Every structure is written in C-alpha cells, then in structure tokens.
C-alpha cells in the first residue's frame, strides 16, 4: 500500500531534488571552509567544475540527467520503501558528485 503521510511525500520530494540540494550545500560548505563570501557569484558547483576541467557540456548534462532519472525512480519507490530509497539516493548522489569532481577531459589524457 502506498503511504500518503506528509513525511513520506516530503521524503519523496527531497529525494527527487537531492542532487541539487547536495551540490548546493556541499559547495556552500566548501566556500565557507575556504573563507569565501558565499553571497558573491562563483563558478564552483560540481557540474561547473567538470566543464572547467574540459568535459563537454553534453556529457556533464547526461551525467546529471542519469542521476536525476534514478532519483525520480527512488522518490517513487520511497512511497513504499523509504529507508531503502534514502540509502540508494545517498549512494547515487555521492557517486555523481564524486564522478563530476574527478572528471578529466579524456582527450587531454591521450
């Protein structure tokens, strides 16, 4: 039976937008640690850094799109299996941020 309580629906909504929440929060935390003014414009989000590292924009968009497709699936699964969905969300978002952070232009390596 699909749960309809407010916390279940809230969890599903957070899961669906987890990539953007994580990217924003981690970026702000890093900027605070580096004693930067967080209210000033910057180009330090994970997807921006990947493009700066030479990854074509279409590949970066594809990585984020794949992550969001999985998150959408997990948000639907969360209606019945909240804990499993949260766990899968953490792994997926963590992997995507790590992948974007460590992306290097393949043509530069060859």
Q: How is the chain split into domains, by residue range?
A: 6-109
pLDDT at 104: 78
pLDDT, one tens digit per residue, over 7-34 is 889 999 999 999 999 999 999 999 999 9
**For residues 13 and 79, is the Cβ–Cβ distance under 8 A?**
no
pTM for the complete prediction?
0.85
pLDDT value at 110 more than 50:
no
Distance of alpha carbon 6 from the chain centroid: 24
Count how many Cα atoms sit within 13 Å of the Cα of residue 33 in the half-sphere of its side chain: 6
**For residues 23 and 97, is the Cβ–Cβ distance under 8 A?**
yes
pLDDT, one tens digit per residue, over 46-92 is 999 999 999 999 999 999 999 999 999 999 999 999 999 999 999 99
pLDDT at 5: 81
């Amino acid at each position: 039976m699909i749960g309809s309580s407010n916390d279940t629906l809230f969890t599903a909504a957070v899961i669906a937008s987890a990539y953007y929440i994580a990217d924003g929060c981690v970026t702000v935390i890093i900027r605070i640690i580096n004693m930067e003014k967080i209210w000033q414009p910057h180009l330090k989000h994970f997807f921006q850094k990947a493009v700066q590292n030479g990854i074509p924009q279409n590949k970066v968009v594809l990585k984020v799109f794949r992550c969001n497709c999985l998150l959408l699936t997990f948000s639907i699964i969360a209606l019945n299996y909240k804990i499993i969905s949260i766990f899968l969300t953490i792994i997926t978002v963590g992997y995507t941020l790590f992948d974007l952070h460590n992306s290097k232009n393949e043509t530069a390596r060859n």
